[in-house]
Each structure stands twice: as structure tokens, then as C-alpha cells.
Structure 1
């Protein structure tokens, strides 16, 4: 997954040069992380609804409701997996990515994603086949059936997948914007918020009364995600990078200015690692996702409660997911790769 970047500035002579210190997001990776995040979140919403019903906090729904919702989650997961193949140089060798599972978070993600997909499919199938006969009883009132066991196993696997996906980036020590536990919390809460928002949209579409339950949890998770993301932005704004032009070339002089990259044209580094967007564009994207991901969906869900609209929850999910695409682009684009210290200027 190659992601890197560049931003351009004007020099004193009026020429535009390229300031190469940000990462270039691959759109396939953006789709992968947002789609599987929402798919996992929707599955977690289905299991949560069933658990609340077992505890008698909610009315128990028909098996078809949980099955269809889980199949929608599976479609999201499959779509995310499909998107991942667009950034592979040799897709036929993708299976080899799982071979380094002892040391690589990417390998662990490659293993965890099919496992989650299998458990989501099995959970949906169990509900479709109405395999709800109790296998055993816990305590005096909790009857455990196949669907509940699969739901709990799938929940554990889903959280493991969230961690694996996030740690691919949080584990990269030299990208200081990513190397923080906040990257993990962002992936978890963004995925869960979008999944529960999708559950509200799904409930509204099929006319199920749980739209209020899922919408309320979606709003809560969205607010928690807001706290996590704002904390991440505040942390990154205070970073004092360890790598500088001085450390890159081993010269201790306090004032160094790079006039050229050592070549008159572009290179692999400037093509693949720089996005070429201005600071103004980055700021605009940040402002847009902060609006689209957080206040707008919550307001739409609130309006749906008041008006009893069946379309506003669907619109809320669509708006939030669009915002999440922008947020994920911004997440990748804001990372400053140390290699870009060698390519600060392209005249």
C-alpha cells in the first residue's frame, strides 16, 4: 500500500516549486479501509441488536432481519477486498501476503479479513436457516444458540481486524503522524459509527423500529470518533519531527535551503509519493470531512426522529460515508515521509 505526497509553494522568483513532505493516498486503500470498516460496524450493530433483544431491552426481531443486515455487511467487506486488488502490482501473488503473520500487521489483516467474512456469512446463514435451538444454558435464563456463538466470535474477529488494519499505519514509527494509539481508536470508532449509521439506514429502509436504537448509538459513536480525531489533529499539530534537512544530509548548519532535487525531471519518488495539492486544498478537505462526518449526520438522524422520515437515515449514512472518504484521504495525505526531505524542490 503506497501512500505519499507533495504540496507546492512559490519561491521568491515567482516560480512554482513542489514542497514534497506529504503522502500520496491510493484511492483503492481509501475504499478498502472505509468499506470494510463500515461492513464490520454494520455486523457489530446486528449482533448488538440481538444481544439487547436477548437481554430483553429490545424486542426480538425476525431472523431474516439479522440475516439480511449481515449479508449487506458481507457485501461491504467483499467490495473492500475487491478494492484492495487495484493497488497490488501482482494480484495473483496476493496470497503470499499472509506468510509473514508473525511480524507483519498487513499479513495479519490478510488473515483476519477472510475470517471475519466467513463468520459474517455463517451468522447470516444461521439466521436464514433459523438455527436458534438452544445448545446450552448459561445461568437460569440465557439460552445460547448457534447464532449467538457465531455473533460473539465474529465480534472478537471484527475488533481484531480493526486493530490489524489500523496497526499497518500506527506501527510505522518513522511516520510520526500515524505512530500513535489514536490511529487505532480512529479506525475503530469511525468504522463502528458508520456501521451503526448504516444499520439505522437499513432499518429505515425495511421499516424496522430499531432505526431509533441504531441511530442513537450511531450518534454516540460519531461523537466519540470526533473526540478521537480532534485529539489526533491536535497531537499532530504539535509534532516536532526528528528528521530534518540537516539530519538527512548530515550537515549541522542551522539554515539550509534545497534549491533542486538533483534532477531536472520527475522520478519514481515524485510520481508515487507526492499528491501535489496545496495547503489550501488540504485545509478545505479537513473542513469538509469535519462537517460531513460529524454534525450533519447527527442532525439528519435527529431530524428523522422528529419527522419519522424513512429517507433521512439513509441520507445520513451517505453523507457520513462521503465524509469518511475525505477523512481517510486527509489521514494519508497529512503524513510526512522522511524520504521527502531529499525531494523538497522540483523546479
Structure 2
């Protein structure tokens, strides 16, 4: 599949915001002891990330004025459910921020974090199911897709929360949240690695021989058979070489998981604050690379005919 950069930014930004909101909600519900100023600041940043992700998603639309029609198929479409749930989640985070600003007490002090946590989990499920429900794309049609979206989002949100606490000069909060950030990042790494191993071993039901009816074992496609590009070649074929895919795979594993986990461990062991911000700066491009690979690795069945450029 061809990765659309608007969707890459949407999923990464919104996923990090969801992870940050989940971290803040759990910290409040478990009484970890976040400073009120840090909580408001972090919620405001999460709201900005959500708004930026929503804006990025609009760039993917051909007719932006018809975006409202996306909600009409909510009974059967996971994308429609995501389109409905995302603005509701944004409004819920804004309501929580306003309640903190106004000094509202119980029951809002526990009800809004609980609702925000539930909304983030539901939004992850809807987003992941957009891809996991596509049975004809075998790389996506698996429960690991949901697990990866959730764990990677939680990891990025936890790392960001630790960095914000470090910037606010709260080493105790950094150490407390860091004890969760490291194992979640390692779990996200393990789940993504399992997905890579699974996808590498997929035996696709269809191949070039079954698609053409030519049973020769030496059948090789040399060209797309077109003199110019088409919708099929633009939307379902990324054009990257196997070597480029392999390099992207190594790159996102290093940047999204290995280096951040190493920096988190360093920060926990040394008590220094700078590794937490460095982890955010390293992980951000790694998350974009991971999401690019997620789309590029998926083999649409139509590419049995359009898999080779020349």
C-alpha cells in the first residue's frame, strides 16, 4: 500500500495524545501525585496534538466539504465510528482541562479522568479496526494490529509525560512514570517484533500463478503493463525497493524502540532529566517510520498485477 503522509501524521499525533491522556488519567485515578500545573499543561498539549492530528486527517480528503458524510455509515464502518468518536474525545479532554482551570472538585476529579481513559481506549480500538477488519490484507487482519496501535500509543504518551515532568523540574514524578514507560515501551517493541515475524511468514492464498492462471513455477512479472500511472498504481503501490523497506524496518525498530528504551533505562538509573527529552526527540521520527512501514508492508491483492514498476 502507498503510505499517505497525512494519515501517518494523524495516527502518530493522535496516538501520542491518547497515550498522554491515558497516562494522566491513570496518574489521577491511582493518586500518583501529579502537580496541578503539570496536569493542566500536559492536558493542553494533548489537546493541541489531537487538533493537529484532526487537521492532518483533513489533508487526506479529496472533497473536504463532504467530510461530514463520513459519519453516515456508523452502523457498519469503523472509520465512521472513529470520525464520531474523535471529536467527542477532543471535547472530553477540553472539558477535563476546563474543570481543572475552574477548580471543580468531586465527582469531576475522578469521573472525567475515567471517561477520558475509556474514550482513548475506544478510539484506539476503532482506529485499529479500520485496518484489522480488512481480511484481504493479511498483514493487517490480525488482533496484533489492535495491540500494536494501543501499546505504541501508550509508549509514546508515557515517554512524553516523563519528558514534560522533567521539563517542569519534577524528578520524583519522572521516576514514578518512568517505571511504567520502560516496560510499556519494551512490550510495544515485543508486540511489533511479533507482528513482523508473523507477516514475514504469511503464505498468501493468491499469487502471480493463481491470478493469471499460468502454472509455471518460473513466472515473473517484468512490468505493470502500462505506459502511464493510474489510480491503482498511485494508491496501492508504494514504489519502494525491497532494500528500502528493509532499511526502514531497521530504522524504525532502532528509533521507536531500542534507543528510547535505552534512554529510559539510563534516566531511571542515573536520575538525570535530559535522557527523557532526548527519548521523545528520538522516538518521534521512529514512530513516523513505523507507521510508514505498517502501510508499505501491506500487500493489496491488486498488486499481483501492479507490483513491478519496470
TM-score bucket (shorter structure): over 0.9
Mapping for residues 4-83 of structure 1, pairs under 5 Å: 23-53=1-31, 58=32, 60-83=33-56
Higher normalized helix content (fraction of residues): 2
- In structure 2, what is the equivalent of residue 338 of structure 1? 301
Distance in 2 (CA, whole Å) between partners of 1:311 and 1:95 is 44
Choose 155-164 or 335-344, whichever is displaced more. Answer: 335-344
**Structure 1 segments of 4 or more deviating over 4 A?**
251-255
Q: CA deviation at 1:251?
A: 4.2
* CA deviation profile, 1:143-167 (whole Å, cap 9, x unmatched): xx21210111111111000001111
- In structure 1, what is the equivalent of residue 68 of structure 2? 95
Distance in 1 (CA, whole Å) between partners of 2:37 and 2:229 is 56
- In structure 1, what is the equivalent of residue 279 of structure 2? 316
Pick from 225, 228, 242: which aligns with 1:265? 228
Change (3 A) 1:345 1:213: same
Choose 274-283 or 82-91, whichever is displaced more. Answer: 274-283
The alignment's TM-score, normalised by the length of structure 1, stands at 0.85
- Is this contact kept in 2: 1:38–1:195, CA < 8 A? yes
| Structure 1 stretches lacking a partner, 5+ long | 1-22, 135-144
Higher normalized strand content (fraction of residues): 1
* CA deviation profile, 1:149-198 (whole Å, cap 9, x unmatched): 01111111110000011111111111100110000000000000100100
Q: CA deviation at 1:342?
A: 1.4
- In structure 2, what is the equivalent of residue 195 of structure 1? 157
- In structure 2, what is the equivalent of residue 210 of structure 1? 173
Distance in 2 (CA, whole Å) between partners of 1:116 and 1:27 is 23
- In structure 1, what is the equivalent of residue 86 of structure 2? 113
| Structure 2 stretches lacking a partner, 5+ long | none
- In structure 2, what is the equivalent of residue 13 of structure 1? none
Distance in 2 (CA, whole Å) between partners of 1:263 and 1:307 is 59
- In structure 2, what is the equivalent of residue 184 of structure 1? 146
SS in 1 for 2:298: coil
Pick from 228, 241, 250: which aligns with 2:204? 241
- Is this contact kept in 1: 2:260–2:282, CA < 8 A? yes
* CA deviation profile, 1:18-41 (whole Å, cap 9, x unmatched): xxxxx2101111110011000000
- RMSD across aligned positions (CA): 1.6
Number of aligned positions between the proteins = 309
* CA deviation profile, 1:219-264 (whole Å, cap 9, x unmatched): 1111111111111111111100012123323444544333443323
- In structure 1, what is the equivalent of residue 113 of structure 2? 151
Higher relative contact order (CA 8 A, sep 6+): 1
The alignment's TM-score, normalised by the length of structure 2, stands at 0.95
Distance in 2 (CA, whole Å) between partners of 1:206 and 1:258 is 58
